[in-house]
Structure 1
Amino acid sequence: MRAALALAFAILLGGANPAATQGVAITFDDLPAHAELPPGETRLGVVARIVGALADAGAPPTYGFVNGATAAEPAQAEALRLWRAAGHPVGNHTYSHRRLDDLAAFEDEVARNEPVLAELGGEWRWFRYPYLEEGATPGLRAGARQLLNTRGYRIASVTLDFSDWAWNAPYARCAAKGDMAAIAKLEASWIAAADASLVRARALSRQLHGREIPLVLLMHVGAFDGRMLPRLLALYRDRGVRLVTLEAAMADPFYRADRDAAASPHPATLEDAARSRGILPPPKTWDLAALEKVCAP
């Protein structure tokens, strides 16, 4: 209880110190296609907005994790080529975004995606687990890590996440209805969740390590992400965030097990690190269940 109260107090203090420098590596999952599209939107348009916002913010090369199955359609392949043409690297997110429930199937998913990545060029041997699920049993987890290590991969951690994906479907519904008031509420709740997640991660980092470790942010190439990314980057600038590469963030000792795809008892997340020390992470303040009702039929 004492540890939980101390962490809550640290979170309150954390929101009042926007000048502190914080390294954040942004990453995007599910290239080139994620979630429903609102009327008139295209996958190419979504990616164009994202790379444009990154360029305007002076962001460094930003990893996008690819599902090769969605790159088969010409229009979606074009979106993927645009990502690479903008100077952003790609990584492996498995071919069809299948959950890790069988090692043989997992290896096939990883290997089947590699020709897609190799054709795009650049350094692509970073891996992001679909759904961030690393296997339900110790055997699956250890086997997957050994497989990734053997194939030369590093695992892309996630230490900053506000479930950005959950806003894309309601946005598409509200856009189809032309409900601009509802979209404005979605915008407000999305940016509030992003801000709260940053404050929470910073406080956890200080509580656990006495410093702010560089964070790895998970986002998705959804239409609402493309719409909101300029506002997120402006928020981060105001909060003293410095955008860094995935390689730079994960050079921190906190990420060593994932960087080496080495045996580890749990994922390299701040929440798991807190629990391992008997600290209960504070609850997330954003309400994903409420999003399911927004502009629902």
Structure 2
Amino acid sequence: MIKQLLVFCMLAAMSALATGEETRSIAITIDDAPRPDTLHFYAPARTAKLIETLAQARVEQVMFFCNSGRMDAAGAERIQAYVRAGHLVANHTHSHADLHKVGVDAFLADIQQAAQVLSAFPNYRPWFRFPFLHEGLTVEVRDRMRGELQKLGYRAGYVTVDTYDFHMDRMFQAALQAGKKIDFDRLRAAYVDLLTDSVEFYDQVARSQLGRSPRHVLLLHENDLAALYLGDLVNHLRDKGWKIISPEQAFLDPIATMEPDTLLLGQGRIIALATANGYEGPTRRWENEAELEREFARRQVWK
């Protein structure tokens, strides 16, 4: 694995030098759809707003990693709305099961239960993403899951940019519940700034360890903040030279075929590959709940 990575990095670096430039590109993937009502959005309204936000930002296609356990009639209609808008559907288990807690056999059954529902949607694609990015606590479990997913015809729905956008939204919901006054301009700025910083961090690690900027895959969740501000994030990334691509394009990157020989998989594929290659630097950015809470307080997002 390490030898393969080193050879690939050398070839990639040579190619970048030959062209004199490098395109930075990123795809958007959205987990846990369809999510329930909140204090801010009735769930169907969130879906409509997210579709509108993506269209206004000229994002033609994202991939929704879905949990079929939420697929009552209203939930299924929301996924159909995403499909009608041109977006993709993929498997994120039936019940958002945690492999580290339920074990391989129960986890595989949960995946197959989800497949029975999700595969009926137009625009369904055979990618699978582990809830919590938990791929196994031991080499034996990790390798068995890789083999079983391959038998089932799944490709890895890995991420390269992990985020705690879910905790940002959790803080937002708590502030609403507490009746705090929300400064929505500051909320938008915090969301855009911190997620952009995360994107740049993971790209910096990729450049230092792989010798290039791969086609990145951003992990977000189907929450209120994405519906409100994903368009602002996209526009800011474009201003910084990023190109937004489809997930199917991103998953054609050579790193898609590399299976990192490490158990540090919960921070995404860039960190996993880097760790397998001996990297010992920082592995995350803005992925600490207390740190996020302090930053939102410093920015006075709500009072």
Task: Name the TM-score, length of structure 1 as normaliser.
Answer: 0.83
User: Shift of the alpha carbon at 1:124?
Assistant: 2.2
SS at match of 2:230: helix
Q: Residue 171 and residue 92 in structure 1: after superposition, are their counterparts in 2 closer, same or farther (change >3 A)?
A: same
2:32 maps to: 30
User: Shift of the alpha carbon at 1:178?
Assistant: 4.6
CA distance in 2, matches of 1:210, 1:275: 15
Alignment of 1:251-270 (within 5 A): 251-257=252-258, 264-266=261-263, 267=265, 269-270=269-270
CA distance in 1, matches of 2:284, 2:210: 21
- Residue type of the partner of 1:65? F
1:69 maps to: 69
- Residue type of the partner of 2:180? D
**RMSD of aligned residue pairs (Cα, Å):** 2.5
User: Shift of the alpha carbon at 1:121?
Assistant: 2.4
User: Shift of the alpha carbon at 1:185?
Assistant: 4.2
- Residue type of the partner of 1:29? D
CA distance in 1, matches of 2:75, 2:108: 25
User: Shift of the alpha carbon at 1:122?
Assistant: 2.8
User: Shift of the alpha carbon at 1:288?
Assistant: 2.2
SS at match of 1:124: strand
User: Shift of the alpha carbon at 1:180?
Assistant: 3.5
Contact 1:171 1:183 in 2 (8 A): no
User: Shift of the alpha carbon at 1:285?
Assistant: 4.7
CA distance in 2, matches of 1:44, 1:146: 37
User: Shift of the alpha carbon at 1:274?
Assistant: 2.3
Alignment of 1:136-215 (within 5 A): 136-181=137-182, 183-215=184-216
SS at match of 1:231: helix
CA distance in 1, matches of 2:149, 2:276: 25
1:10 maps to: none
User: Shift of the alpha carbon at 1:182?
Assistant: 5.4
Unaligned runs of 5+ in 1: 1-18
Q: Residue 208 and residue 98 in structure 1: after superposition, are their counterparts in 2 closer, same or farther (change >3 A)?
A: same
User: Shift of the alpha carbon at 1:128?
Assistant: 0.5
CA distance in 2, matches of 1:109, 1:292: 34
CA distance in 1, matches of 2:23, 2:45: 32
User: Shift of the alpha carbon at 1:222?
Assistant: 0.6
User: Shift of the alpha carbon at 1:193?
Assistant: 1.2
Unaligned runs of 5+ in 2: 1-20
Contact 1:20 1:239 in 2 (8 A): no
Q: Residue 127 and residue 283 in structure 1: after superposition, are their counterparts in 2 closer, same or farther (change >3 A)?
A: closer
1:24-62 Cα shifts (integer Å, max 9, x gaps) = 01100001116x7124x1111112222222222222321
Q: Residue 162 and residue 289 in structure 1: after superposition, are their counterparts in 2 closer, same or farther (change >3 A)?
A: same
Alignment of 1:213-292 (within 5 A): 213-257=214-258, 264-266=261-263, 267=265, 269-282=269-282, 284-286=284-286, 287-291=288-292
1:202-234 Cα shifts (integer Å, max 9, x gaps) = 211211122211100000001122111121111
CA distance in 2, matches of 1:160, 1:290: 18
1:21 maps to: 23
- Residue type of the partner of 1:98? A
Task: Name the TM-score, length of structure 2 as normaliser.
Answer: 0.81
SS at match of 1:215: strand
SS at match of 2:120: helix
